[in-house]
Amino acid sequence: MALVDIQVPDIGDFDEVGVIELLVKAGDTVKAEQSLITVESDKASMEIPSSHAGVVKDLHVQVGDKVKQGSVVLTLEVAGGAAESASNQAPAPAAQAPAAIKTEVPAAVPVATAASGPLEVRVPDIGDFKDVAVIELLVKPGDTVKPEQSLFTVESDKASMEIPSPAAGVVQELKVMVGDKVNIGDLVALLSGAAVAAPAATATPAVPASAPAPAAPASAPAAAASVAVAVPAHQPGTPTAGLPHASPSVRKFARALGVPLDEVKGSGPKGRITQDDVQNFTKAVMTGAAQTRAAAAKAPASSGGGSGEGLNLLPWPKVDFAKFGPVERKDLSRIKKISGANLHRNWVVIPHVTNHDDADITDLEAFRVQLNKENEKSGVKVTMLAFMIKAAVAALKKFPEFNASLDGEQLVLKNYFHIGFAADTPNGLVVPVIKDADQKGIVQISKEMSELAGKAREGKLAPADMQGGCFSISSLGGIGGRYFTPIINAPEVAIMGVCKSSIEPKWDGQQFAPRLILPLSLSWDHRVIDGAAAARFNVYFASLLADFRRIAL
């Protein structure tokens, strides 16, 4: 047995760095290259690895200490001769190991493509590595990022590193995917609206001194500065805003355990998540003291806290269809993939009930036809759906629990009236939303609906066109059918489905009279709404369509 002092190696451009995490304790057995402590400067965090295998005898640093090259981190008891042979193969620890340092690397190198164009983000000098694999994307197109915010994680056989953004901006495009291999200089992302931080900062290497400074293209800092444009305001609440603060090794550890890091509370400096935090979170979940959000979503709070068994379904049948006849395969459209996943969740999570009813729209249809004749030249066709949107607003005002969303064990009651309508498009179903329908007239609603339906068919709806809905209407009236069960568009709690109206004989007290009858199918969330309220909602909604003057009462 021999004792070896493990020292801080050459950590590049830093005088003194703070110890922010101890990754081992006295008595631990460590392998060569295993990380011992994490240090952090104002530019980067790094893990200091062990140059030898052995057992930790004494730790010489504590969290909060400042260390620099040559500081003794700990004393290791190594197997006889190993110390000698290790030091025979390589210089003293202080001089070795830079290649094994796990580090958050300098901000990716920005390259301006044009004065007004997006900023090209390239892989900076990440040290002695070639062909490192992208293992995690930490942002997605549309995300607003801050300077130094990590964009993605790469991993070689020795280290995992997070590549930070060189500037604030909006991620316009990601040029890499998980599994891709990257090298210094590779284009990884385009940032729009980017304003580059002080060029000196992006050019300063935060890697071991043995690695050359980031090979920024000659024009980079100056050109980057010249593209500085208005930086989009940082939007709290966007997914990137809450990116968990953790070192690469803690991220790796959490990934290995399947722990959702964004749900772990960090106890380290500046809220940094430590390995202990991840362990404690895991313990809490295992003992039932805590629940992950994914588990909570499977068993919503109002169902009693998630003690239910899983669905325990049979596997999906795997059939070789070609055995039975010719087939062709087609990818699902992007909209179908997204809406399918949402519909599936809503159907499985929400206890749906559907009440069917009828509305006599004889007079309303006559009025609508007359209106359209009068306004033939206006170019706006008043639709039955516009009247239904107005009737829905009145019904939501009368029955506020229909204009609500569940948030855990609370009901969020809305004082605004945004009504979505299902639109059938060649690529699938979308639900554009008429905002503030309570403040708009029938003609304006008809006009907006026709514009939104047109945009939907052309695939030009913006996300904002489909957000904020309180209640939805799905009309199959132009197509056919009698009744159906619409799926609630979560987090809304009810949806009105309408089918094709038809003339039916109705008893008026003395005789049968031909009336135009509209079939209604109201699906509602039984966690929020009761059957009696749903029946009342339908009766009221139908009464408004039967005599639209009631809407003014």
What is the nearest approach in angstroms of ligand CAO to the Cβ of residue 233?
34
For residues 10 and 515, what is the distance between their CA atoms, to the nearest angstrom? 88
Count of residues engaged in binding ligand CAO, rule: CB under 6 A: 19
Pick the closer one to ligand CAO by CB: 226 or 370: 370
DSSP bridge pairs for 173:
190
For ligand CAO, which stretch binds (CB under 6 A), given 171-179, 236-244, 252-260, 383-391? 383-391
CA dihedral 357, 362, 366, 368 (to 10 degrees): -10
For residues 303 and 300, what is the distance between their CA atoms, to the nearest angstrom? 5
**Distance (Å) of CA 351 to CA 378, 403, 528:** 44, 17, 10
> Residue 383, interface with ligand CAO (CB under 6 A)?
yes
- Could you tell me if 541 and 519 are in contact, meaning their C-beta atoms sit under 8 angstroms apart? no
* Closest to 77 measured CA to CA, from 61, 93, 60, 55: 55
> Residue 4, interface with ligand CAO (CB under 6 A)?
no
* Closest to 173 measured CA to CA, from 194, 189, 155: 189
Pick the closer one to ligand CAO by CB: 20 or 498: 498
**517-536: contacts with ligand CAO (CB under 6 A):** 518
> Residue 489, interface with ligand CAO (CB under 6 A)?
no
389, containing H or E segment: helix 384-398
Q: Which residues contact 164 (CB under 8 A, 6 or more apart)?
A: 104, 105, 106, 107, 108, 147, 148, 149, 150, 151
Residues 240-279, mask of contacts with ligand CAO (x by CB under 6 A): ----------------------------------------
For ligand CAO, which stretch binds (CB under 6 A), given 83-91, 122-130, 216-224, 474-482? 474-482
Pick the closer one to ligand CAO by CB: 185 or 428: 428
Question: In the set 486, 496, 538, 544, which binds ligand CAO (CB under 6 A)?
Answer: 486
Question: In the set 476, 493, 529, 534, which binds ligand CAO (CB under 6 A)?
Answer: 476
What is the nearest approach in angstroms of ligand CAO to the Cβ of residue 497?
7
Residues 436-465, mask of contacts with ligand CAO (x by CB under 6 A): -----------------x------------
Question: In the set 71, 153, 274, 475, which binds ligand CAO (CB under 6 A)?
Answer: 475
Pick the closer one to ligand CAO by CB: 347 or 512: 347
Question: In the set 447, 477, 496, 524, which binds ligand CAO (CB under 6 A)?
Answer: 477
Alpha helices in 421-469 (DSSP H): 442-457
- Could you tell me if 159 and 116 are in contact, meaning their C-beta atoms sit under 8 angstroms apart? no
What is the nearest approach in angstroms of ligand CAO to the Cβ of residue 387?
10
Q: How many CB atoms lie under 10 A from the CB of residue 33?
A: 17
For residues 94 and 236, what is the distance between their CA atoms, to the nearest angstrom? 43
DSSP bridge pairs for 300:
none
Active site residue 52: no
Catalytic residue among 52, 245, 418, 526: 526
Pick the closer one to ligand CAO by CB: 170 or 449: 449
Residues 385-424, mask of contacts with ligand CAO (x by CB under 6 A): x-----------------------------------xxxx
How is 469-493 classified by DSSP, letter by letter? -SEEEEE-TTT--S---PPP-TT-S
For residues 37 and 49, what is the distance between their CA atoms, to the nearest angstrom? 7
Three-point CA angle 252, 254, 260, nearest 5°? 130
Pick the closer one to ligand CAO by CB: 163 or 385: 385
For ligand CAO, which stretch binds (CB under 6 A), given 188-196, 203-211, 252-260, 494-502? 494-502
Pick the closer one to ligand CAO by CB: 168 or 498: 498
> Residue 12, interface with ligand CAO (CB under 6 A)?
no
What burial letters (b/e) apply to 274-313, b meaning 16+ CB within 10 Å? bbebbebbbeebeeeebbbeeeeebbbeeeeeeeeeeeee
> Residue 501, interface with ligand CAO (CB under 6 A)?
yes
Question: In the set 36, 37, 207, 384, which binds ligand CAO (CB under 6 A)?
Answer: 384
What is the nearest approach in angstroms of ligand CAO to the Cβ of residue 293?
28
> Residue 474, interface with ligand CAO (CB under 6 A)?
yes
> Residue 350, interface with ligand CAO (CB under 6 A)?
no
CA dihedral 384, 389, 451, 332 (to 10 degrees): -100
> Residue 429, interface with ligand CAO (CB under 6 A)?
yes
For residues 532 and 526, what is the distance between their CA atoms, to the nearest angstrom? 11
Pick the closer one to ligand CAO by CB: 376 or 409: 376
CA dihedral 317, 321, 327, 329 (to 10 degrees): 30
Peptide bond into 91 cis (omega under 30): no
Beta strand pairing call for 494-498 and 471-475:
parallel
> Residue 160, interface with ligand CAO (CB under 6 A)?
no
Pick the closer one to ligand CAO by CB: 69 or 475: 475
What is the nearest approach in angstroms of ligand CAO to the Cβ of residue 37?
57
Return the active site residues.
526
Residues in touch with ligand CAO (CB under 6 A): 383-385, 421-424, 429, 453, 474-478, 486, 498, 500-501, 518
